[in-house]
Structure 1
Amino acid sequence: MIPLRRIPLSADAEKLLTKWTGRVSTEGGTSKTARELWRNAHTPKRRVRDALEPMARGNVRCMYCDDSRATDIDHFQPIEKAPLRTFDWANHLLACSYCNSNAKRELYPVDHSGTCLLIDPTAEDPADHLMLLLLSGEYVPVKNSPKGQQTIEVFGLNRRELVKGRLDAFDRACSNIRDWHLLVQDSDAHADRVARALLDSPFIDVVHAMTRLKPTVAPKVVGPRTVAALDAWRSAHGF
């Protein structure tokens, strides 16, 4: 999971969503009403997706797992718990069907004060709560962060296929960054294509974690042959 910048909606789109929020309220404000309205809100959903897709990385990757293509508009705070946020722009993210329908579903854990214990990557830096261990492919909470732990559990961020995918992506990223660095040193224009291919690939969270490695740790993780290339990559394409 990586930080994403939420873009502002156009005035027309904002007005449209506000109108539909009013409909939810005037028609009872229940989750049942909100679901029915959302199901048939074809134009608002299209406007939301059109705004969300440029925010996603690569080939419109899931904003949670960074692997699969994002097929669903997820309500971060579920409709069941907050029907009046059904058309709230700040409550919409893009997710793959697994993260949205199989993992998160209606889950929305909160602490004793009511603060949400899931990371919204458009509202905060996931690295404040999560650390990706590149050599194992697994996420761990930062300093036992409850928000980090709940995010890992609710989205299933350490499910087997994601761990394997990250390990494979790490090997590819090391090789691609070394190749990119050689092309840059040769002033080869193909370097930009190699960089773009890597930035658009699944598991961009792996590359993001690599760029955040401390200089004292990087040689042990990426290997001495990759350190110089990673330093150059960090300067050119750091997040």
Structure 2
Amino acid sequence: MLKLNSDSPGTTTLQHLATQQATIDALPVGQRPAMAETLWDAKNNIGSGGKTAFAEIKQTLLEMCVGTELCNYCESNEASDIEHIYPKSFFPERAFTWLNYLLACKTCNTHYKLDKFAVFTPALSANATTMQRKKVPTSTDAAFIDPRVEDPLVFLALNFTNQSFFLEPCPNLTDPRDIAKATHTLNVLQIGKRAALAAARKAAFRFFQSRLERYRDVRDSTTLADLERLVEDPDLVDTANTFAAEQQQMLTALQQSILSHAHPTVWREMQRQRLSLPKTNTLFAAVPEALAWQ
């Protein structure tokens, strides 16, 4: 998980959200969850602006994703669903709140997350409890990482030991609240030790490492013939072009292939944990500019 970039849909869409939220908030507390569910199910058909508003919301969230249309939780699957970070069943007052949205895949959203959540009880304590369905929230102090406003890498870290590629609470956490938030987030989403995700992270690690090696080799090339040996099908070196232009084109393409690949957390952790990864550290020493690639 990574922190999402900040963005916002236009004023008209935000006003549409505010109108729907006001309808919910005007009801007695006990009726709000049902109304939130009803309005959400009909969100594309509410008035003349519903479909347009949520098309813009979806597009804006797509542009905010940590990778090209990647689920912001698992970073592996297509980001298809508008996910409520604070579940609307527990927090109907956030059902139509822009800052409560991100895009997730169907697996993360409907199989793992659902309306699972954890809060600190009482608020500001370190006592985190998983919320129970049909029970009123004991607080609004989330024991769950919100990547819209928090940096998940403060709380979580990839474990490269024995090539496990598990996502775990950051080992240098000392605040009990931070430890609880990391632990409950992983428990809810199950993104830490899913076998398929660990295998995909390992593959991503190898991909990033090989691309960094190729970047180094292209940068150190001196002739078009060198570039021809390094280019990959179906790309070709344009021998009618200058060496400098072709070299720069290849370097740019390699950098973009890293920044657009799935599992960007793996890349960020390679940067952060490079001192414990000898070969990776050597590559970053050779290509120090890559430490700023995000």
- What is the TM-score with the length of structure 1 in the denominator? 0.90
Sort the Cα spacing of 1:17 and 1:97 in 2 relative to 1 into closer, same or farther, 3 A: same
* Separation in 2, partners of 1:229, 1:15: 51
CA contact (8 A) 2:113 2:189 kept: yes
Following superposition, the deviation at residue 71 of structure 1 comes to 0.7
Q: Does 1:61 align with 2:70?
A: yes
Q: Does 1:19 align with 2:19?
A: yes
Specify the SS of the correspondent of 2:198. helix
Following superposition, the deviation at residue 37 of structure 1 comes to 0.8
Q: Corresponding residue for 1:212? A: 272
Q: What whole-Å deviation, never above 9, does each CA across 1:101-148 have from its counterpart, x for those lacking one?
A: 111111110122232111111211111110112332111112271111
| Root-mean-square deviation over aligned CA pairs | 1.9
Q: Corresponding residue for 2:186? A: 152
Amino acid at match of 1:167: K
Task: Specify which structure has the bigger relative contact order, considering alpha-carbon pairs within 8 angstroms and separated by 6 or more residues.
Answer: 1
CA contact (8 A) 2:2 2:147 kept: yes
Q: Corresponding residue for 1:233? A: 290
Q: Among the aligned pairs, what percent are the same residue? A: 24
Q: What whole-Å deviation, never above 9, does each CA across 1:69-97 have from its counterpart, x for those lacking one?
A: 10100011111101121110011110001
* Separation in 2, partners of 1:184, 1:11: 46
Q: Does 1:117 align with 2:151?
A: no
Specify the SS of the correspondent of 2:289. helix
Q: Corresponding residue for 1:7? A: 7
CA contact (8 A) 1:181 1:232 kept: no
Residue 215 of structure 2: which of 149, 160, 180 is its match?
180
Unaligned ranges ≥5, structure 1: none
Amino acid at match of 1:204: P
Following superposition, the deviation at residue 27 of structure 1 comes to 5.7
Residue 37 of structure 2: which of 35, 41, 44 is its match?
35
Q: Does 1:126 align with 2:135?
A: no
* Separation in 1, partners of 2:36, 2:4: 27
* Separation in 1, partners of 2:5, 2:166: 24
CA contact (8 A) 1:104 1:155 kept: yes
* Separation in 2, partners of 1:13, 1:200: 29
The number of residues matched between the two structures is 234
Unaligned ranges ≥5, structure 2: 45-50, 124-138, 222-243
Following superposition, the deviation at residue 223 of structure 1 comes to 6.3
* Separation in 1, partners of 2:120, 2:66: 30
Structure exhibiting the larger radius of gyration computed from Cα positions: 2
Q: Does 1:222 align with 2:280?
A: yes
Q: What whole-Å deviation, never above 9, does each CA across 1:190-233 have from its counterpart, x for those lacking one?
A: 1111221221111111111112125x4242x6364x34345331
CA contact (8 A) 1:178 1:229 kept: no
* Separation in 2, partners of 1:232, 1:124: 26
